[in-house]
């Protein structure tokens, strides 16, 4: 399932994923994501971090309590604080939209297997900040 509020990005995500996966649905806000997840019960959710109505982070936190889901966030935010917030919300993947064509398939595969994935440029920032905060 894909949750993305920008139609062009949503179409691109579906096109990328449809090569290897069945995309069972798309939604454009966090409330619709919660409702669709209950009815469709997708294996993996690809979610924009900044959805309207209920943000992707908030929706992930709700799902973490009510229906644990395998979530891959897509976003333009390359800030380690956002990566931390995504991980705290239970996400397994964090993909920069600029790197979707190279990273999204791997992120979904890893999430499906219960493994973590973060786009390399963000992972490097996140790892450096963690090293300095010890």
- The range of the structural domain enclosing residue 92 comes to 2-133
Alpha helices in the chain (DSSP H): 7-18, 30-40, 56-66, 80-88, 100-112, 120-133
Report the CATH number that the domain containing residue 14 is assigned in CATH. 3.40.50.2300
CA 15 from chain centre, in angstroms, equals 16
User: Average pLDDT over the chain, rounded to whole?
Assistant: 91
Q: Would you call 96 exposed, middle or buried from its count of C-beta atoms within 10 A (0-12, 13-18, 19+)?
A: buried
Tens-place pLDDT, residues 35-65 = 999 999 999 999 999 999 999 999 999 999 9
Which of 5-19, 40-54, 110-124 has the least mean pLDDT?
110-124
Structural domains in the chain (count): 1
């Amino acid at each position: 399932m894909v949750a993305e509020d920008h139609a062009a990005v949503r179409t691109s995500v579906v096109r990328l994923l449809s090569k290897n996966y069945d995309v069972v649905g798309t939604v454009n806000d966090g409330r619709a994501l919660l409702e669709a997840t209950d009815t469709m019960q997708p294996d993996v959710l690809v979610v924009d971090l900044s959805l309207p109505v209920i943000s992707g982070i908030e929706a992930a936190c709700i799902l973490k309590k009510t229906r644990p889901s395998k979530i891959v966030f897509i976003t333009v935010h390359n800030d380690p604080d956002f990566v931390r917030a995504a991980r705290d919300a239970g996400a397994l993947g964090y993909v920069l939209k600029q790197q979707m064509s190279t990273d999204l398939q791997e992120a979904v595969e890893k999430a499906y297997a219960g493994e973590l994935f973060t786009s390399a440029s963000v992972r490097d920032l996140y790892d450096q900040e963690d090293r300095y905060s010890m």
